[in-house]
A = this chain, B = another copy of it.
Amino acid sequence: MTTAAHSHSGHAHEGPSWSEHVLARFEREGFRAGGARAAVVELLAEQDCCLSAQEIFDRLRGGGRSVGIASIYRVLDQLFQLQLVQRVDVGGGVARFEAAHPGGDHHHHLLCNGCGRVVAFEDAALEAELDRVAERLGARVAGHELVLHGACADCSRG
């Protein structure tokens, strides 16, 4: 279930590509090269929204690449430690991951309880408000995660 889809519009391919950026970072950080890591990074790079470990596993298998599920979790953890991916938790006990772009160009998610889709959205004013809240709390907020629950535009129109 949860056929991940998105309502993104923009996101052109610019700059030194996320996967190159990531692989370079790994090398700089002293990691060795490895096929599993490259495969996961490459796959994540071509998504524009979150995937679960199992989804990554299935897609790599489908694409001929045989990567152990343990390696996938390992790579995801490494990426997360280096803040190169964002962990997205839409409930159901499964963690999802998506590329964290350096430009801070991040989005949030609406989980539709009608069709089960995950709809991504961005909102600059919301981000500004969140910054303001962080300041008011006196906390050094490194990141945030927001999930809206409800009926997406399609489902609420029907």
Contacts and interface: CB of A to CB of B under 8 A. Distances in A.
Contact of A126 (B112, B119, B129, B141): B129
A139 B129 contact: no
Nearest to A114: B140
Nearest to A147: B145
B139 A150 contact: yes
A104 to B, nearest CB: 15
A123 interface: yes
Nearest to A153: B138
Name, among A87, A132, A141, the residue most crowded by chain B CB atoms within 10 Å (CB to CB).
A141
A66 interface: no
Given A89-B89, A126-B129, A150 B142 contact: yes
